[in-house]
Amino acid sequence: MFTGLIEDIGKISDISEIKNGKLLVVETSINTDEIKIGDSVSINGACQTVIKKSNKCLVFEAMKETLSRTNFSFLKKGDFVNLERAMLINSRLDGHIVSGHIDSCEKILNIKNDGLSEIFEIGGSVDLVVEKGSISINGISLTVSKVLKNSFEVSILPHTLNNTNLKYLKENDFVNIEYDMIGKYIKKFVEQKKDSKITREFLIENGF
C-alpha cells in the first residue's frame, strides 16, 4: 500500500527481456540499506518486488501482466520513473490510499500552462473519475480538476512537477492510471445490485 507521495525520481540504468517479462535495474538516491529483498516499491505507480539490490540500484522483474497494463512496455534505458516505498502504518497519509495495482495505461492528450500550474489532459474512460476526486498518475496522488467526455484534467503544482517524472513527459506519452479504490468498490456494488434478481417482491414471497 502506498500514499502517492513520490520519494525519488529513479533512472532506468538497464532494461532487458526475460521469459514472459522484463528485468528492470533502477538507479535511486533512496538509501538501499533500508530496503530488503522482497520489499514492495512503487515504480510509476505499479507495485513491484525488489529481487536484487546494490549500493545505488534496485532490480525488479516485471511480469507479462504488468507489461500489458502499464507503461513499462514503453520504458527504455535512461528513462526516469517515480519511486515510492510502501507506506508505514505510523506515518501521516498525506496523499490517498494507492494500492499499486494499475487499472490502465492512458495517453497525455494536452499539456498547457495556466500561469502557476501545468494542466495535463489525460484520455481514457471517465466512469471512475469525479471532479475534485483523487487519482494516481504514474504513482502520484493527484486531484482531478475537470472531467470531460472522454478525458480528464489534473493541475500540477510546481513542487509536484519538479519532484516527479512529470517534468520529463510530453503530449502523446503514456502514463499509468490507478482509479480511487473506494470508487471502484462502489461501481462494482452498484453494477451487482443492478444485475441482481433479488427484488422487493421476491423478498416478500420468501418471508423477508
How do residues 85-126 score in pLDDT, each as one tens digit? 999 877 777 778 899 999 999 999 999 999 999 999 999 999
d(CA 131, CA 115): 21
* Mean pLDDT calculated for residue range 76-82: 98
Q: What mean pLDDT do residues 43-48 have?
A: 97
Q: How confident is the model at residue 27 (pLDDT cuts 50, 70, 90)?
A: very high
Fold (CATH) for 104-194: Elongation Factor Tu (Ef-tu); domain 3 (2.40.30)
pLDDT, average across residues 31-59: 96
Nearest to 23 by CA among 51, 55, 47, 3: 51
What does the pLDDT read at residue 203? 60
Percent of the chain's residues with pLDDT above 90: 79
- CATH 2.60.40.10 for domain 8-85, yes or no, is no
Quick check: 208 pLDDT over 70?
no
pTM of the model: 0.87
What is the structure's pLDDT at 147?
Answer: 97
Q: In CATH terms, are 8-85 and 104-194 the same topology?
A: yes
Least confident window among 20-34, 81-95, 190-204: 190-204
Which stretch of 44-48, 66-70, 198-202 has the lowest confidence by average pLDDT? 198-202
Tell whether the model's pLDDT for residue 14 goes beyond 90: yes
Which cell numbers in the block locate residue 80?
Answer: 526516469
Predicted confidence (pLDDT) at residue 40 exceeds the cutoff of 70? yes
Q: What is the pLDDT of residues 175-193, one digit of tens each?
A: 999 999 888 888 888 777 7
Query: What are the residue ranges spanned by the domains of the chain?
Result: 8-85, 104-194
24 pLDDT above the threshold of 90: yes
Residue 76 has a pLDDT of 96
DSSP letters for the chain: -B-S---EEEEEEEEEEETTEEEEEEE-SS-GGG--TT-EEEETTEEEEEEEE-SSEEEEEEEHHHHHHSGGGG--TT-EEEEEEPPPTTS---S--B-S---EEEEEEEEEE-SSSEEEEEES--TT--TT-EEEETTEEEEEEEE-SSEEEEEEPHHHHHTSGGGG--TT-EEEEEE-HHHHHHHHHHHHHHH----HHHHHHTT-
Mean pLDDT of 22-37: 97
pLDDT at 144 (0 to 100) = 96
Query: What is the average pLDDT across 9-27?
Result: 96
pLDDT at 192: 77
Reduced to 3 states (helix: H, G, I; strand: E, B; else coil), residue 172 is: coil
Question: Among 182, 181, 173, 67, which Cα is nearest to 123's?
Answer: 173
pLDDT for the residue numbered 197: 65
* Distance between start and end Cα atoms, the chain: 40
